Copies of this chain bind each other. A is one copy, B any other.
Amino acid sequence: DNSKLYCLGSGQQHLNEPLLDHREGQLFLTEAFKVILEEVLCKGTDVNEKVCEWREPEELATLLDLELREYGEQQYQLLQRVRDVAKYSVKTNHPRFFNQLFAGVDYHALTGRFLTEALNTSQYTYEVAPVFVLMEDEVLSKLRSLVGWAQGDGIFCPGGTMSNMYAMNLARYRAFPEVKLKGQWALPRLAVFTSQESHYSVMKAAAFQGIGTENVFKVNVDDRGCMMTDDLSEKIELAKSQGAVPFLVHATSGTTVQGAFDPLEPIADICDRQGLWMHVDAAWGGSVLFSKEHRHLMRGVERWESGACSGIQLLECNFDLLKRCHSADATYLFQQDKFYDMSLDTGDKSIQCGRKVDCLKLWLMWKAVGSQGLEERVDRAFAHTRYLVEKMMKREGFQLIGKPEFVNVCFWFIPPSLRGKENSPDYQDRLSKVAPVIKERMIKQGTMMVGYQPLGGRVNFFRMIVISPQLSYQDMTFFLDEIERLGNNL
């Protein structure tokens, strides 16, 4: 009986009874699970359904009735809210969602996430997370073996930005261990080096961690977006000449827009000569390590001091620095008189106190498909990318920014009215307006989602991401047809 009032007790007289009825709660959760299956996972992955159900913000706020009030609602109303949230949310699991650096659904990973949420624990001690302390260790050590390390240390982080921040802190701590106690004011001006096309989190980290954004030296890139090592050497000399002390090169494996891989071997050579920490931000490209065919893109990876790894967002570090650098020795959590091996209480390695369990989703997916299955997914994404690029090159109006190294396909769509007009003075200006209009049309019609941006001297171009394990050739063809349909009259 869904319309029954959901009663949460009515005050002090019931203190002797549990506040919440588990049976009713579980009933609600079960009904909501059916809605999630239907709306998010069935309809949300059906090519015949929309990727998004666009509404103007004012209209959406009204439809959702967001206001929080004095009294609670009935079960059937709450279930309708679950349905509405699903309906008006973007379907990132949809085969025509190419908008971000994530897409598609893995049911084993999702199972791991549901189980993580239901168990609701924190990763800090063996006492409260015995399974996950051991599991995190296994996943990290397996990933280290992909990198080519027999040992090291690591931690899962809430996102690639945090991984990069951990690395910046570790690198600074290795160079100047007194920074933990005294702070940056007692240090000389420091200098970080990263490519012009690296992720913006380097700038955020420099600001947040007291290093300063003007102390991030941006190294020139080639046409593909890869760091130019000659310029890296020059920028290091430039920083020194300004009195700054270089301590960290933040290289990228898989840049955000072009998917470029910085040349790790020559960068590592420079870092060796100069005594700098080499961090590799592989938050996007690190999955190539699973593939025998494509791991050459990260040749030299075993020489990194730390790395932020693909999708799973973690920090690997080849020194035993995490704990020394981050510990605060809270006695209420890390008691020294426990009855088990206290080295299993890994919580003092992290800057967070409570830390969500992030390893289970990856572990269960890996158990389900094996290293071989993960490799196949990576190879498949590359194969789809090649297919798309080939088709694109045969179609009039599609102009690639460059040959993709990874699964980012960057291109301009040149509508018929602009073809052959490359030399007219307003060409660039008119071209820059094409992608935003096509984007608006696709979102309002809900047929697909793909991102665009300017980059350096290039005006707005599309960045198509080929990553979902559920993609087929048909989806590639659809994509090209749909860009034409939406943009041909521009």
The CB with the most chain B CB atoms within 10 A, among A114, A134, A206, A340, is that of: A114
Given A37-B29, A110-B117, A200-B330, do A185 and B182 touch, yes or no (CB 8 Å)?
A: no
Which residues of chain A (74-108) have a CB below 8 Å from chain B?
78, 81-82, 85-86, 88-93, 95, 99-100, 102, 104-108
Interface contact B372-A440, CB-CB below 8 Å: no
Cβ contacts A285-300/B at 8 Å (1 or 0 each): 0000000000000000
Given known pairs A158-B352, A332-B451, A470-B20, the reply for A41 and B118 (CB within 8 Å) is yes
Q: Within residues 33 to 47 of chain A, which ones have a CB less than 8 A from any CB in chain B?
A: 33, 36-37, 40-42, 45
A19 within 8 A of B: yes
Select which of B19, B213, B325, B353 is within 8 A of A201 by beta carbon.
Answer: B353
Nearest CB of B to A355, in Å: 7
Provide the bound-state CA to CA distance between A209 and B270, in Å.
28
Q: Which residues of chain B are near A319, meaning CB under 8 Å? A: none
Within 8 A of B (CB), among A352-392: 352-356, 360, 363-364, 366-373, 376-377, 379-380, 383-384, 387
A449 / chain B contacts, CB cutoff of 8 Å: 127-128
Q: What's the nearest-Cβ distance from chain B to residue A462, in Å?
A: 11
Q: By the criterion CB–CB under 8 Å, are A368 and B40 in contact?
A: no
Complex contacts, A367 vs chain B, CB 8 Å: 68, 72-73, 78, 81
A16-B183 in contact (CB<8A):
no
A470-B18 in contact given A29-B37, A41-B118, A200-B353 (Cβ < 8 Å): yes
A341 at the interface (CB under 8 A from B): yes
A111 within 8 A of B: yes
Q: Which residues from chain B contact A470 at a C-beta distance below 8 Å?
A: 18-20, 22
CB of A398 closer than 8 Å to a CB of B: no
- A346 within 8 Å of B by Cβ? no
CA distance A462 to B376 in the complex (A): 52
- A426 within 8 Å of B by Cβ? no
| Surface stretch bound by B, among A4-12, A225-233, A478-486 | A4-12
Q: Which residue of B lies closest to A137 (CB)?
A: B66
A432's nearest neighbour on chain B, judged by CB, is B337
B60 A25 Cβ-Cβ under 8 A? no
Q: Which of A147-155, A159-167, A417-425 contacts B (4 or more CB under 8 A)?
A: A159-167
CB-contacts of A110-164 with B (<8 A): 110-111, 113-115, 117-122, 126-132, 134-135, 138-139, 142, 158-162
8 closest pairs, A vs B, by CB? Answer: A210-B210, A183-B212, A25-B107, A184-B210, A184-B184, A332-B453, A158-B158, A200-B328
